[in-house]
């Protein structure tokens, strides 16, 4: 209950921002940050709780984005239905890639490689196929009405993405509490041991992959509605694969708030660097790479992990000695 | 009907390209064989080496083939330092962390290059850059023939290092049984770094062989490394002969697929091979067992 309250407080704080800040620049920054947090939370479900590090989450982001765009542009389908279809399509791609990779027993380096390869294949195919607009990309027609999932005011977009992020936070929280989540964490900690205890590792990993893909695909669907444009380099580019894994790792892998905290930190650093030096290509990603290394070196459980560690250390110092609860649960 | 001579020339060109793939893959497979991780920074290191070879020619007037003898040791030292002082300490002995660190390095190096040199493509003009040898039925570019020969020279040199030197023996020992090697008094962190250095040196040589006919650009290395991943997977992770043969096979496949279906689908062909091999036979076709 306490955790859900924490989520409610965090969401309430975010929800209050447009009431105070009216700057479009700030709102735009927050919308993009939340979108990356959503994509990152998708990665976190599979990578953080399941220990399967995907280097190709662009496959899901891009599929969600393209399905949303293609259904509207080519088939005149309503945007909301397109949005839902995009999520379903992303989950389906997750099921296919996950089914193949986990059936083949790919782990660690191999899993990272095969996910990367699938994303690249999709990128190349999307850059030549006519239905994706090939090299030109797809433009969604401007139609600023709620039934087209387009809004005049950025604040509404902001509330939409905030709602999606809130759902993803609740999903992670339920995962931590559920039997399925416990199985998933068991697989992460020691797959063979988990299987010996009767956990169907294949089914658990596949389930996590589908859920993970659906959440990241939702970020892709949102991207299309927000920017009304998609091409193969954006949809299936390595940038989104990297940002999706970067945010939870920096924020804290396998924690409810990791991806959100990570996205805020990463995007602030990126924007901060741009303010200092102007918009020089490469600088923001250069900083992301460096931050990734520094965080793994000095805070391998991310900022949230470092924070909880520090708090426990303080609590231990000031309060009466008590058994270290978290370690007991983990061990 | 196509003349078989055209086909032969397509295959020959594929073999020449494949030799460079093999060299890049050699570095990857060496690192995988010992550290058991895929070095995702390999492509970025190749881009960096291409820039180094470019500037060695532009600023110092060094012929790329001469520069190779300077850049190989320099990149060896760079790779050694990366593993010893960054990747090793930062990964806390966890494979997943090591993967992420190499990815972080890749992102950092690639974008540092982009930041410093922008996205421009740079080429060098050499007197022999466009010379070719006439075989009667086909022409083969001189620099590509030289690089083909050089790759086998490098592979031989690597093999000699592994077979004859103490360091080579230690590397093989660590690859086989890390704990046992450690107990026998081998400094594993040092051997890891030596291996990473050797793999990085391969990339430097590959860059010097490539630059006469290729270009330097912050993302130039990526194309090769995605292919090199395929080569390594095809040849069997950690297998040196596998990398050589795999490189040549992939070069020919790409050349043929490009010839029949056009450039970009030729690339898809490589990825499909890659995925199929990964899924069906992750030990690779030449199956050096893990």
CB contact under 8 A, B264 and A128: yes
**DSSP secondary structure letters along B55-85:** HHHHHH---HHHHHHHHHHHHHHHHHHIIII
In a domain, B290, yes or no: no
Which residue's entry shows tokens 């050797």?
Answer: B198
Mutate to test the interface with B, among A252, A297, A305 (most CBs of B within 10 A): A297
The answer, yes or no, to whether residue A328 has pLDDT greater than 50, is no
Residue B201, exposed/middle/buried by CB under 10 A (0-12, 13-18, 19+)? buried
Question: Quick one: three-class SS letters along A245-270?
Answer: HHHHHHHCCCCCCHHHHHHHHHHHHH
In a domain, B93, yes or no: yes
The verdict on A124 touching B (C-beta cutoff 8 Å) is: yes
Instruction: For residue A113, give the CATH number of its domain.
Output: 1.10.3470
In a domain, A186, yes or no: yes
CB contact under 8 A, A293 and B268: no
Contact residues on chain B for A283, CB-CB shorter than 8 A: 111, 115
The verdict on B219 touching A (C-beta cutoff 8 Å) is: no
> How many domains, chain A?
1
Pair type for strands B132-134 and B139-141: antiparallel
In a domain, B101, yes or no: yes
Contact residues on chain A for B111, CB-CB shorter than 8 A: 282-286, 289
Domain range for residue A136?
2-318
What dihedral do alpha carbons A125, A128, A133, A137 form, nearest 10°?
A: 80
**pLDDT value of position B262:** 72
Give the model's confidence band at B288: pLDDT under 50 very low, under 70 low, under 90 confident, else very high.
very low
In a domain, A324, yes or no: no
In a domain, B236, yes or no: yes
Return the closest-CA partner of residue B31 out of B241, B244, B175.
B175
Which residue's entry shows tokens 């593993």?
Answer: B83
In a domain, B285, yes or no: no
**pLDDT value of position A54:** 94
Instruction: For residue B118, give the CATH number of its domain.
Output: 1.10.3470
Average pLDDT, chain B: 86
Return the closest-CA partner of residue A208 out of A237, A230, A186.
A186
Tokens, residue A321:
């000695």
Residue A227, exposed/middle/buried by CB under 10 A (0-12, 13-18, 19+)? middle
* Residue B28 to residue B42: CA distance in whole angstroms: 7
In a domain, A323, yes or no: no
Return the closest-CA partner of residue A71 out of A147, A123, A160, A140.
A140
* Residue B255 to residue B169: CA distance in whole angstroms: 38
Domain range for residue B205?
4-280
Contact residues on chain B for A292, CB-CB shorter than 8 A: 100-101, 103-104, 107
Tell me what the mean pLDDT of segment B256-280 comes to.
77
* Residue B86 to residue B200: CA distance in whole angstroms: 15
CB contact under 8 A, A109 and B111: no
> How many domains, chain B?
1
Tell me what the mean pLDDT of segment B151-176 comes to.
90
CB contact under 8 A, A292 and B103: yes
Give the model's confidence band at A325: pLDDT under 50 very low, under 70 low, under 90 confident, else very high.
low
Phi first, then psi, for residue B289 (nearest 5°) are -70, 145
Q: Is residue B248 within a helix (H) or strand (E), and if so which, with residue range?
A: helix B240-261
**DSSP secondary structure letters along A65-82:** HHHHHHHHHHH---HHHH
CB contact under 8 A, A53 and B101: no
The 10s digit of each residue's pLDDT in A146-200 is 888 888 888 899 999 999 999 999 999 999 999 999 999 999 999 999 999 999 9
Minimum Cα–Cα distance from B280: chain A residue: A104
CB contact under 8 A, A109 and B100: no
> Are the CB atoms for B155 and B201 separated by under 8 Å?
no
Q: What 3-state class would DSSP assign to B180? A: helix
The answer, yes or no, to whether residue B290 has pLDDT greater than 50, is no
Minimal C-alpha gap between A87 and chain B (Å): 24
In a domain, B288, yes or no: no
Contact residues on chain A for B101, CB-CB shorter than 8 A: 292-293, 296
In a domain, B25, yes or no: yes
The answer, yes or no, to whether residue A278 has pLDDT greater than 80, is no
In a domain, A59, yes or no: yes
State the complex-level ipTM: 0.86
The total of other beta-carbon atoms located within 10 Å of residue B253's CB is 18
Tokens, residue A83:
């949005």
Q: What 3-state class would DSSP assign to B165? A: coil
């Amino acid at each position: 209950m306490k955790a859900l309250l924490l989520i409610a407080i965090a969401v309430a704080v975010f929800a209050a921002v447009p009431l105070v800040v009216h700057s479009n620049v700030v709102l735009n920054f927050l919308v993009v940050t939340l979108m990356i947090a959503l994509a990152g939370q998708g990665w976190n479900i599979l990578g953080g709780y399941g220990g399967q590090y995907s280097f190709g989450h662009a496959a899901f982001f891009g599929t969600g984005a393209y399905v949303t765009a293609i259904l509207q542009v080519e088939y005149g389908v309503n945007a909301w239905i397109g949005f839902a279809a995009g999520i379903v399509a992303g989950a389906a791609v997750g099921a296919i890639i996950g089914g193949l990779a986990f059936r083949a027993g790919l782990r660690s380096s191999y899993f990272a490689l095969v996910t990367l390869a699938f994303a690249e294949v999709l990128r190349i195919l999307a850059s030549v196929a006519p239905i994706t607009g090939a090299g030109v990309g797809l433009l969604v027609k401007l139609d600023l009405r709620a039934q087209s999932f387009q809004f005049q005011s950025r604040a509404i977009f902001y509330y939409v993405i905030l709602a999606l992020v809130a759902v993803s936070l609740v999903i992670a929280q339920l995962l931590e509490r559920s039997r399925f989540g416990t199985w998933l964490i068991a697989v992460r900690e020691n797959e063979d041991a988990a299987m010996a205890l009767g956990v169907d590792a294949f089914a658990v990993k596949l389930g996590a992959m589908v859920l993970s893909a659906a959440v990241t695909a939702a970020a892709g669907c949102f991207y299309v509605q927000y920017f009304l444009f998609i091409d193969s380099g954006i949809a299936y580019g390595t940038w989104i694969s990297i940002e999706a894994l970067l945010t939870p790792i920096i924020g804290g892998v396998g924690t409810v708030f990791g991806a959100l905290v990570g996205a805020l930190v990463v995007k602030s650093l990126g924007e901060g660097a741009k303010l200092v030096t102007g918009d020089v290509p490469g600088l923001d990603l250069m900083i992301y790479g460096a931050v990734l290394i520094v965080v793994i070196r000095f805070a391998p459980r991310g900022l949230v992990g470092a924070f909880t560690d520090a708090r426990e250390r303080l609590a231990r110092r000031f309060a009466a000695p008590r058994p270290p609860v978290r370690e007991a649960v983990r061990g | 009907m196509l003349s078989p001579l055209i086909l032969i020339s397509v295959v020959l060109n594929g073999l020449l390209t494949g030799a460079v793939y093999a060299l890049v893959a050699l570095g990857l497979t060496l690192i995988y064989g010992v550290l058991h991780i895929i070095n995702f920074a390999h492509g970025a290191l190749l881009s960096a080496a291409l820039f180094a070879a470019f500037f060695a020619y532009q600023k110092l007037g060094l012929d790329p083939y001469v520069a190779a003898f300077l850049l190989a040791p320099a990149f060896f030292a760079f790779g050694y330092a990366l593993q010893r002082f960054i990747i090793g300490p930062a990964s806390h002995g966890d494979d997943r962390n090591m993967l992420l660190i190499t990815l972080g390095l890749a992102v950092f190096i690639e974008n540092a290059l982009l930041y410093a040199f922008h996205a421009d493509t740079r080429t060098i003009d050499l007197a022999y850059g466009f010379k070719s040898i006439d075989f009667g039925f086909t022409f083969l570019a001189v620099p590509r023939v030289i690089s083909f020969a050089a790759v086998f020279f490098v592979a031989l040199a690597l093999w000699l290092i592994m077979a004859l030197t103490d360091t080579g023996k230690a590397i093989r020992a660590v690859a086989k049984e890390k704990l046992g090697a450690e107990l026998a008094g081998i400094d594993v962190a040092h051997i890891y770094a030596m291996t990473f250095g050797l793999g990085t040196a391969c990339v430097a040589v590959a860059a010097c062989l490539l630059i006469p006919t290729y270009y330097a650009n912050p993302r130039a290395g990526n194309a090769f490394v995605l292919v090199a991943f395929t080569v390594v997977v095809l040849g069997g992770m950690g297998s040196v002969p596998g990398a050589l043969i795999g490189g040549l096979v992939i070069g020919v496949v790409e050349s043929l697929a490009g010839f029949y279906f056009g450039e970009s689908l030729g690339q898809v062909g490589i990825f499909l091979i890659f995925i199929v091999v990964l899924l069906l036979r992750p030990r690779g076709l030449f199956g050096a067992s893990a």
